[in-house]
Amino acid sequence: MMSAVDQVISAQPESGEKTTLTADTDAGGYQPLGLKDLTKTNVLRVHQYLDVLEVLLGWERSNRYQICDADGKQILYGYEVGVCLARKVLGSSRGLVLKFSDNESQDVISLHRPLRCSTRCCWMCCHLQEMAIHSPPGTPIGTVREIWSCGAPVYNVYNLKEGLLYTIVGDCCHCRACGDVTFHVYEGPREKEDKVADLSKHWTGCRDIIGAANDFSLTYIKDIGVKDKLTIFGAVFLIGFNYFEKHCRC
């Protein structure tokens, strides 16, 4: 039987000549050759595949994602790398790694989420969630961290020097039925006139009710750099696991 990773790789288009990712350079800055399609779009649509076996058996399986542009063209394919037992026992609170490859089957992004308690009853005894973004894999470019709040969910986006880049703020009610839930991304501290992106979790009917798969869209309102786009992109999955994965919730 093929493993989840083998299935993912076999589902990719056949690769031609491989491109090479380069990280920061003194001369050219950040040049993600494997992410050239990302630089051309201001809308990313994240579709999580519905796993029928997971629904029927109640056994949490590795998540798989399709990332498309505004026209529905696939630009990235993502899959979860993790321990089977952790998925079953810890559910949405599990630590994990998400890997994303381009249409040439080359890994271009990886997201790293450590295992942490997800309860918010006490700031002093709980570790809030965070996600580290690497592009290319193995080269960190930023971090998204959950900020404790007693009302609307808040997340901060940091660069490698721990400088605050963006603040993500959601609605107080993030379990709205029959409607989309939107998180707003602001530059620096929260200022309405400095909004740079909107992150929306879409209502998908029965898929939402059973909590088996989620769809998101990320719309960049302002023209920002590729690094910043990728870091905000990582926030989509951290927020998804925190609020919209229903299996074995803490």
Least confident stretch, 96-100, 122-126, 165-169, 183-187? 122-126
What structural domains does the chain harbor? 38-244 (3.20.90)
Instruction: Judge whether residue 237 has pLDDT over 80.
Output: yes
Instruction: Judge whether residue 26 has pLDDT over 70.
Output: no
Instruction: Judge whether residue 114 has pLDDT over 80.
Output: yes
Instruction: Judge whether residue 43 has pLDDT over 90.
Output: yes
- Looking at residue 52, its pLDDT comes to 63
In this prediction the pTM is 0.79
- Looking at residue 177, its pLDDT comes to 63
Instruction: Judge whether residue 183 has pLDDT over 80.
Output: yes
Beta-ladder partners of 74: 68
CB of 214 within 8 A of CB of 203?
no
Instruction: Judge whether residue 234 has pLDDT over 60.
Output: yes
Instruction: Judge whether residue 217 has pLDDT over 80.
Output: yes
- Looking at residue 7, its pLDDT comes to 44
- Looking at residue 61, its pLDDT comes to 72
- Looking at residue 249, its pLDDT comes to 46
Instruction: Judge whether residue 88 has pLDDT over 60.
Output: yes
Least confident stretch, 25-39, 95-109, 110-124, 187-201? 25-39
Instruction: Judge whether residue 216 has pLDDT over 50.
Output: yes
